[in-house]
Structures are given as structure tokens and as C-alpha cells.
A and B are shown apart, each in its own frame.
Chain A
Amino acid sequence: MYLNTIALSPERIQRFQEIASTSIGPLIEGAIKYTIPLAIIAFSIGLIIAIFTALARISSSKFLRAIARVYVSIIRGTPLLVQLFIIFYGLPTIGITIDPFPSAIIGFSLNVGAYASEIIRAAILSIPKGQWEAAYSIGMNYSQALRKIVLPQAARVSVPPLSNSFIGLVKDTSLAATILVAETFRRAQEIASMNYEFLFVYVMAALVYWVICFILSIIQGRIEIRLDRVVGKTGGLS
């Protein structure tokens, strides 16, 4: 009896087809309206936070270094899910109420900021000291040397790890379902709670994420080939 209900009878397969055609729309809508914008906006804000955090971490000011270290340590040392709950469910108890989507933006931006700052810091430190010295020797100050000479080279070094972070972020945005953002996975939960076809609906959601990440990895490959061509794979950055 029990076995029977989960078997793949012709009627069940037909039901899958119906569910697929009615739910693919909402899933893709969730991706286009929430998952992708959330990832892009949070990544952009996160990168800005990350650059400043990386600069603070390599600065000569003990105070800035300490602030940056504490920030990175807190974000990396606590679960993203807990951070999202603190922002969305926790802050209202002290009178700060933020809508689901902005809450998610804040949480993911802070997260990207901390993780990407480590990537950018390593990239900046990987640029040989001679590049700074050459920049100073033609009269540049610290910020000119940084903006014109070091960061452009560090950016190229950090493209591969940062694009991995971005792909990771796209998947992590599914956690926003827990704070009521109507993104891809939340749509899947809603659909599945109505038709009880959990396996089928969640696999569909998984496919939506996979397609997005697959496209991103193709773009990533293209960018890396182009950077190699510009800088020269051999010794360009040494």
C-alpha cells in the first residue's frame, strides 16, 4: 500500500508534467526577481566592503587593523543562517524592523565583505614590492600607487577566487527563504507544501540553481581567458 503510493505510475508521471508546467514559471520568476538580483546587489556592496576591509587589514593603523579583524572574525565564525535570523527576527525586538529583501541584502553583503576581503588582501599582498616602489619612484603617493598600479593587478589575481565566491553566493541566497524572501527556493517550498511532491519540486528548484551556476561558470572561464591574454600567462604578474 505504502510502496504503491510512491511508485511511478503513469498517472503520477502525468501529474509531474502538470506540476512542472505550472511551477516552472514561479520558480524562474523567483530566480529573476530575487535570487539573481540578491546575488548581484549583495556581491557588489560586499566587494566595496571587502576592498576597504582588506585595506584596513594591511594598513599601518593598529585601530583599523583591529576593527577589520574583529569584523572578519565575527562573520566567518558564525553561521550565515544565524546572521540572517539576527537581522530579520532579532533586530525588530529592539525596534529595528527591516523588510525581508533588504535584510537579506545586508546579511549577504556583510558575508561577502568578510570572505572576499581575505581574497583581496591576499591578492594585494601577492603584488611584488617592486611595483609599489616603481610607483613611488615616479612620484605617486600611497593612494595613487594603490589605485593605479596595485589594485588593477590585484583585481586580475582575484578574479578566479572571487568568481567562485559569487557562484557560492548564488547558492547561499536560498537561505533567504527562511526570512521570507520569495526567491527560488521559497517558491519551491510553497509549491511543494500544496502538492506534497517534495522530491520533484525540490529537484526542479535545484535544476534552476544549477542552470544559473552553469552559465556563470562559462562566463567565468571566458573572463579568465581574456585576463590571461591581456596580462600574459607567463610572468605577466611576476
Chain B
Amino acid sequence: MISIQGLKKSFGSQEVIKNVDLEIEQGKVVVIIGPSGSGKSTLLRCLNVLETPNGGVLSIDGQKLDFNSAVSKKSISAFRRLTGMVFQSYNLFPHLTTTGNVTEGLTTVKGLSRKEAVKKAELLLDKVGLAEHKDKYSFQLSGGQQQRVAIARALAMDPKVMLFDEPTSALDPELVGEVLRVMKDLAHEGMTMAVVTHEMRFAKEVADEVIFIDQGVIVERGAPAEIFNYPKHERTKKFLSLLQV
């Protein structure tokens, strides 16, 4: 489903992603953990080309982007349409209502009629439990509600893969659960997901695989029970011990 080969990304002279290889099978949930600044966000952002990799080959659902040669803008936006992204800071469009946030991509990018788009938005908002908030603006919603709108907005575009970059890190603790629940449902429906998170319970319950990344390399990967209970590398052990304090 997703294949990453030899991915490289630098900011100036700083090498942030160093030759990363990764495969994610259809319908699997991969949780990415690692210290702050280790390159987790950059890895996800390379996957939907919000950051342009300096080298490597990305492939999703048979579509390929080879960054070892020149890549056209057109192929990037076609590739990006295979992915949906959920940001730590939600990034809802504040000038649009909840429904407007979900329909905007449908009408502008997919060319749906206003009516079709609203119908689809209603289904999705129902799914994330926000049907009664459809006419509100983001400043009228809690963080948990905003993040669920953001998930609906991404899902509206029918992505093959959902990318989550610390979706609950900005939330008050009591609001984390409602967002994780939506993500869990999505996983059970068979969505392919790459999730950067430090919610260990979520990782244990939902992830098919956990990847520990440090200084731009994948240090260790395996089933959640394996990584959390029997980490092999010193760096993984150290990171996990810090998390559990």
C-alpha cells in the first residue's frame, strides 16, 4: 500500500530524515514514536509532500513519486490526494462553518455540487459525532470537536491513507478520548493509517506495528507488545522509560 524507499530530507545542512525505508500494508495502523525533533513530523509531511524530500521513492496505492529525479507539481498534487492529514493544531478554516470545512475540498477540488457535498458532509459529521454542531464556527467548538471536524474534512476527500501528526497533543486530557475513539473506529473500518502519537494505550490497542524513530532513522520496529515490553535497543528503552515516568 505505502512504500518508502531511501527517503532523505534535509533542512539546510541538517539531515532530518536519513535514508528511511518503510512499508505499510493495506488496512494496517502504524504508530510512530520517538523523541521530540527526531523527524516524526517530517516523515509524515514527506509522505504527503508538504515537505519535498531530497531523495527517495514514495509509492501509495501504486502511484509512484521518484524524488531522485525532477517531480512535477501536477504529480505531487495527484499524489497528495491519496492522503488525508490531521494536524496537531487542527488547522480548521476559521471563516467556514463545520459543514463548510468539510465541503470545501469536495466542491473546490472534487467538483461536487454544493448539494452533494453537503450530503456527504452530513454523513461524515454524523460519523464523528458532530451532527448537531454542523453550523458552528471553529471558535465555538472545543479542541476535541475541532479535531474531529478536521478528521471529517480529511476523510471527505476519500484518501487511501490517513496521516495523523500528534492529533491529541494539543488537547486537554478529558478531550483526548473522543478523538482517539474516532480514530479507533476508522482503524476498525480498515483505513490504512500512520499515526504519530505518544498515547501508548492507543498504540497497544490499535496499532499493528510500532516504529521507534530517533535522529532521522528507524531504530526499531515491531508489534506493540514486543516494542513496549521487550525493546531491543538502548535508545528505545531509554525513550520508553522516560515516557512511563
Query: Once the chains bind, are A134 and B109 in contact (CB under 8 Å)?
Result: no
In the complex, what distance in Å separates the CA atom of A141 from the CA atom of B138? 23
A140 cross-chain contacts in B, Cβ below 8 A:
105, 108-109
Confirm or deny: A189 has a beta carbon within 8 angstroms of a beta carbon on chain B. Answer: no
**Cβ of B166 under 8 Å from chain A:** no
Check B193 for interface membership: any CB of A closer than 8 A: no
- Tell which of B94, B104, B110 touches A231, judged by Cβ atoms closer than 8 Å: B94
Chain A minimum-CB-distance residue to B49: A136
Query: Which of the four size classes fits the interface of chain A?
Result: 20 to 34
CA distance A237 to B138 in the complex (A): 10
Cβ proximity bits B121-153 to A, threshold 8 Å, 1 near / 0 not: 000000000000000011110000000001001
- Check A130–B87 contact: CB distance below 8 A: yes
Within 8 Å CB of A237, what residues of B?
94
Q: Is A25 on the interface with B (CB-CB < 8 A)?
A: no
Contact indicator B95/A137 (Cβ below 8 Å): no
For B87, list chain A residues within 8 Å (CB): 130, 133-134, 137
A7 to B141, CA, bound (A): 68
In this complex, how many residues of chain B approach chain A with their Cβ under 8 Å: the count is 30
Does A149 have its Cβ within 8 Å of any Cβ on chain B?
A: yes
Q: A152-B95, A237-B94 are in contact. Are A138 and B137 (CB under 8 A)?
A: no
State whether B80 touches A148 (Cβ < 8 A).
no
Residue of A128, A138, A152 touching B105 (CB-CB under 8 A): A138
B91 to A130, Cβ gap below 8 A?
Answer: yes
Partner of A232, one of B77, B84, B91, B94: B94
A-facing residues in B91-121 (Cβ within 8 Å): 91-95, 104-105, 108-110
Q: Assess whether B89 is in contact with A136, with CB atoms less than 8 Å apart.
A: no
Residues of chain A within 8 A of B73, CB atoms compared: 141
Taking a contact as CB atoms under 8 Å apart, the answer to whether B91 and A131 are in contact is yes
Determine the distance from Cα of A133 to Cα of B45 in the docked complex, in whole angstroms.
Answer: 10
B183 within 8 A of partner (CB): no
With contact pairs A149-B93, A236-B137 given, residues A137 and B104 touching in the complex (Cβ less than 8 Å) = no
28 contacts between A and B (CB under 8 A): A128-B91, A130-B89, A131-B91, A133-B91, A134-B92, A134-B93, A134-B150, A136-B50, A137-B50, A137-B80, A137-B154, A138-B157, A139-B80, A139-B81, A139-B109, A139-B157, A140-B108, A144-B109, A148-B104, A149-B93, A153-B94, A156-B95, A230-B95, A232-B94, A232-B139, A234-B139, A236-B94, A236-B139
For the complex of A and B, the 5 pairs showing the least CB-CB separation, nearest first, are A232-B139, A138-B105, A134-B91, A130-B91, A137-B85
A interface with B by C-beta (< 8 Å): 128, 130-131, 133-141, 144, 148-149, 152-153, 156, 230-232, 234-237
